[in-house]
Structure 1
Amino acid sequence: MSSLAIEVVGLEKTFGGSTPALRGVSFSVPAGTICGLLGHNGAGKTTTINILSTLIRPSSGSALVAGYDIVRQPGRVRASIGMAGQASALDPLLTGRENLVLFGRLRGLRRQQAKARADELIKQFDLTEAADRQIITYSGGMRRRVDLASALVVLPKVLFLDEPTVGLDPRSRRDVWALVGSLALQGITVLLTTQYLEEADVLSDSIVVIDHGQVIASGTSEDLKRRVGGSYCQVTPTNPADLPQVAAVLVGLDGLDIDADAGSVSVFAPDGVATLGEVFRRVDALGVELTDISLRRPSLDEAFLHLTETRVVAPS
């Protein structure tokens, strides 16, 4: 048995005569780990997931999932995986419990087995109070929990999660993070696509970045942050209303970014303390009160933007 749960070599996919959606994608995921697959909209993430889960066939290249070839052994692959896509696969008129029993029956469980497994998942996913209500009455976070539970009715070796927390509020998102994090402890390999870089940073053991259908970087979150090759200077005014003024005096410095949620302004600091001194001089002239001004390491968001914005795309 290979120590790799997913092995992808040179995957390519073209729809009709259009520009290729995937151009020689290659990466691997060790068994029992979580891999974040990152990229802008249209980069090829969902196409990759759909190929690896045998929903569509590649134009060329090869891949093994749980040790099985996705083209020659699609039935074996499907029996070894679970999948929760962007769109819910639940029947909104059935209850949470009825949906889980239905998925169990579709996966080949006998009726009593399916009911017993549904009971286990309802308890595991904290759905006891809502289990016998129709899905249509559930919040987005609750529906996502049932979606994940339905993918685990028969424990998969590999679980594909395509944007698992899109549209969820911060509390529901963190609840899903806790559930996903617990899966690796059960030995389940997770391939996760997400637009939330914090999500990938928190959950992923490894990260693969796709841009225009090609893998442009891979490694741990810390590996990708180191590739930025510098630090950032962050300024946090005491009054968030001063953010526009602070940003205005820092115009001209590289990597200027306003984070309204954090109440801070950041710039790239290639010269470290020298850049910090320049930032302090400019901001000090404003006379605004600061909570903090400091140098820090790049975030995964900044590493991702650096990797995708500085890349030159080869012609088709």
Structure 2
Amino acid sequence: MFTANRVYSQRLATVADARTIVPLWQAFAQQRTQVDPSMQLKPGYDFEQYISYQLQRPFSFFFLLEVELDETSDLKEIVGCFAIYFYDEAPPPELEGIDDFMESPFQPRRVGAVLGLYIDEKHRQPHTIKLLVDGAIAKAEELKVTDVDVLVSAEQTGVQKLLERHGFTKSAVQYSRHYQIADTENLPSLHPDVLSSGVEPEMETVAASIPLRNIENYELVKNPNGEVIFLQPITNAAGELLCSSSGLPIYPNPLHDLETNAYVFDQDGKLVTCPVLQDCDGVVEYAGIPQFCPPLYQRSDKNLVLKQDKNGTYLFAEADVDESGKVKRSPDGKPIFKQ
């Protein structure tokens, strides 16, 4: 039975929490479609994979609301979540001056973009909402962002009042007009044609080393020898840059420890990175983003830990490929990995 004196707490989620978060995020998405008919859910959407992906992004965070199940144990239930990711509109210092003509005329911001907030209705109270919001705001202040952006439906007046109580102001009003288009209709492409855009397809790609920073405090990451880690763009066996379909160099995806969220180094003190996913056609992408092979996990004392072979080498999932050597994909286009 629910009572008002139950103890609630807030913490950061890890990849191990992804499956538990799924019902909450599904409820959030369904609620979103109810207030905005233009936002329709994809059939069979893999929420767990989406949440896992978000949790592995360097500046993406899920704050969880937990409630104690009883006073005699430490068991807790996750009953709410607040998702936010942070980004800098300015390019990294190493890339300043490149493609200046593409930059916005406005001063770049350091932004916290809210993905969503959802709390189970039985636990939706002012102090539980405040726990999650305060956690996200504290992280925003820690990362020294200049702005936190939240997109709210016009019908969500309660959320608007909540934001105003936390110091948010209405900065814009967005209008939408929805068009119903038949699935069978032949649609003109909205993807730019590189060959006819005036951009030389063989223009030299500028790639720079990027210093790796701690996702918690943005400090430079050092290896066990005290040396600053720099991410180098990935190259193939011939030493040529691997680039995305948009022509940008692809950088390694460092491996994180589930418990500490720290970067992982091997026995030789080298940073461990996830292999970029490739097949017979080259680098595999999803929604225009190069994909990487996820790490494998195993159980150890009821905890999930990164899996290693007998030599201490970290292991990663292999993609499922068809007879032609192409990576198999789910109905919505995501690469499929072997179980």
Q: Report the TM-score range of the alignment, normalised by the length of the smaller protein.
A: under 0.3
TM-score (norm 2): 0.26
TM-score (norm 1): 0.27
Q: By percentage of residues, which structure has more strand? A: 1
The structure whose RCO (Cα within 8 Å, separation 6+) is larger is: 1
Q: By percentage of residues, which structure has more helix? A: 1
